Structure 1
Amino acid sequence: MTEKADTQQRILDIAQHLVQERGFNAFSYADIGQALGIKNASIHYHFPSKTDLGVAMVRRYRERLEGHLSQFQTGEFPAASALENYLVGYRTVVHADGRICLCAALAADYITLPEAIQQEVRAFFQLNEDWLSHVFTKGLEKQELRLTSTPQEAAAVFLATLEGGMLLARSYGDMSRFETIGRQAIQAVLP
């Protein structure tokens, strides 16, 4: 990785940490600069505006999720295993220090975000819903799952359950709540 690319990734890493912890509107380039020991001008060189930084951050986050999800196509895995792997992926973004999914944090700031970042956040949630809908459709076809609604509706409910579970776990300062909620969400769709 080039020094420029490494600096960009470090900036994105710090920005993501700050958004997951505080929200998009509660950090500045000065916070990133202080954490990395660089000047604001260096950050502006890589990301001319905070919107540019936000778009790049969410896009990178979504692309990483796409890579994770592509490993668990339902043709190769039973639906319950696919959902378990999905939960494992979500578990990695629930931290004891209160940080949660980047897009869950951004959803809380949604109406104050620039349109370009809103679009990226929607694309992240749409990726999740599409993947889950596919898992639920295949799971129904193979009689591996039991749904009381359409696969698309079940996908939205499952995603909302996990995202809400993160917020509750954060509010209580008890990340084990997320695990309990996630396990219950999977159990609810098993026959």
Structure 2
Amino acid sequence: MQETAQQILDVAQDLVRCRGYSAFSYADISKQVGIRKASIHYHFPSKEALGKELVKRYRTTFQQKLKAIEQSESDPRQQLQQFVGLYRSGLSERQMCLCGMLSAEIEVLPDSIQEEVRAFLSVVQNWLTSVLTAGEVAGCLQPRVAPATEASLSLATVQGAQLIARTAANSLATFDGIAQPLLASLCIDH
């Protein structure tokens, strides 16, 4: 039973990352998972319940990736590079950051999902702020503004780069053309 719930979440995540929250239904999930809509309702009584759980799971997974970056790399420049790589990697499947997609629809999302999206963005901005602060202290990163503001600018840049790259013929090159100057402007070579 838990396996079915995970399949539902996996399919819903792919649908939201490709289409957005408003552009998928339980019928879409039913078709892809091969179960009846009633079975989806058993696990997630409403689309809101599904969406809320989806964002919570995405935030947890993303936090684990950020923690893995911290554990594998002590250089803040490399941490920042790997962070950008998280956003770059979804483009190979023509997918956006789940919460980036949901942010575009924030006004039509149920309050509980809005709260989860805001929580995700807060986690990412706090992590970026700590990396930028550590890099500034170590003398290897040079934020152009206060680290917290730079974190917001950096997040907006990589999410915006995904949007622009998604429409380009060569999405990875387009993404890199936006993200690499961001990294170059922040990193101090030693």
**79-88 or 157-166, which deviates more:** 79-88
2:82 is aligned with 1:70: no
Q: Distance in 2 between matches of 1:95 and 1:107?
A: 21
Match of 1:158 in 2: 154
Counterpart of 1:112 (choices 94, 108, 114) is 108
**What does the per-residue CA deviation read over 1:66-105, in whole Å, with 9 as the maximum and x for residues that have no partner?**
1011122389511111111112222222234x32111111
TM-score (norm 1): 0.93
Match of 1:91 in 2: 88
Secondary structure class of the residue paired with 2:92: coil
**Structure with higher helix content:** 2
2:135 is aligned with 1:139: yes
How many residue pairs match? The answer is 187
Counterpart of 1:45 (choices 42, 57, 78) is 42
CA root-mean-square deviation? 1.5
Q: Distance in 1 between matches of 2:95 and 2:170?
A: 12
2:16 is aligned with 1:23: no
Matched letter for residue 94 of structure 1:
L
Matched letter for residue 15 of structure 1:
A
**Gap runs ≥5 in structure 2:** none
Matched letter for residue 91 of structure 1:
R
Q: Distance in 2 between matches of 1:144 and 1:170?
A: 31
**Cα offset for 1:184?**
1.6
Q: Check the 8 A contact 1:74/1:82 in 2, yes or no.
A: no
**Gap runs ≥5 in structure 1:** none
TM-score (norm 2): 0.93
**Cα offset for 1:33?**
0.3
